[in-house]
Structure 1
Amino acid sequence: MLPLHDLLDAEVLIESGFVSGRLDLGLYPDDLDGWSRALDVLAAGGDVRWPNDDRSPEIRVRALDREHETPTVHVEDVARSGISVSIPLCLEDGWIDDQRKRLRLVRREWPSEVLKTSPGAYEWRR
């Protein structure tokens, strides 16, 4: 199926004074739309889960964790490694705007191999 060719290999890097880890992800173009919506929710003070389609791994961000009084990220890789980690964050002002800039760069540089011509119809780019 053609849509499965437009995958982007990505990784999540987690580092703190206590834990460090790396998690490989395969992203679809629609995952970027989901991250864009997640940034909108975070900007409004809400919590997010991404990708939001019951895939593993999963990243959840709490805009304000009451226990730590900071945002907290929870990364869970149940299907492959069975590992999960939660880390309180100290985010600088403008973090969401920086994420939006990075998202635009990824969209611009995405090595798309197929073109969606109509719902459910694809063709190879030439």
Structure 2
Amino acid sequence: MDEWVPVDLIHLSDGRDVSLVLRTVERHEARRAQVRAECLIATDFAKARLQTHIWLDHLEEWEEALRRLSAGHDASWPRGSRGLELYFHPHESGWLSISVHDPDRLTVALGLAPTAEWIVEHEANLQRLRDACGES
């Protein structure tokens, strides 16, 4: 059996103090609609680790959010979630404002300047997760 490797659906960082990572924490089980994940948030003033799930039926929404962000528009994901929700606001300067909201545990805002290729990298992350979950 192949060795399982975590998949980062989201990995944004300024390379120093600020980062947001949404990562799977276990292999996806067939016939399950979700995969266990963790959301890691780091800033110069706070660090958080939130246990969550990535619902496979929300992956198309993430793809659409990436399209919106690529066009310079705001995006949230997943929309209408009762759990972890992420809000993205791109600025013309290249700066990205992000709000992480978990209604039971935490709301935090952070900002960073992602690499110029961050959208393409996240589209590749999305495909890696789909492949790992048999959703291709």
For this structure pair, what is the TM-score category when the shorter chain's length is used for normalisation? 0.7 to 0.9
Q: Report the counterpart of residue 41 of structure 1 in structure 2.
A: 68
Give CA deviations for 1:59-96 in whole Å, capped at 9, x if unaligned: 10111289xx7211100111x21x21000111011001
**TM-score, normalising length from structure 2?**
0.70
What secondary structure sits across from 2:114 in the alignment?
coil
Q: Structure 1: where are the runs of 5+ without partners?
A: 113-126
Give CA deviations for 1:2-25 in whole Å, capped at 9, x if unaligned: xx8321111211112111111222
Q: Report the counterpart of residue 98 of structure 2 in structure 1.
A: 73
The one-letter code sitting in structure 2 at the alignment partner of 1:92 is T
Q: Structure 2: where are the runs of 5+ without partners?
A: 1-30
Instruction: Let me know the Cα RMSD of the aligned residues.
Output: 2.3
Match of 2:123 among 100, 107, 114: 100
Give CA deviations for 1:23-72 in whole Å, capped at 9, x if unaligned: 22212211111110000000000001110123222110111289xx7211
8 Å contact kept, 1:48–1:62: yes
What secondary structure sits across from 1:34 in the alignment?
helix
Compare 30-39 and 15-24 and name the one that shifted more: 15-24
Larger Rg: 1
8 Å contact kept, 2:33–2:57: no
Residues 1:109 and 2:136 are matched in the alignment: no
> Which residues of 2 match residues 1-126 of structure 1 at below 5 A?
5-64=32-91, 70-78=95-103, 80-81=104-105, 83-110=106-133
* CA distance in structure 2 between the aligned counterparts of 1:42 and 1:22, rounded to whole angstroms: 25
The structure that is helix-richer by fraction is: 1
**Percentage of identical aligned residues:** 27
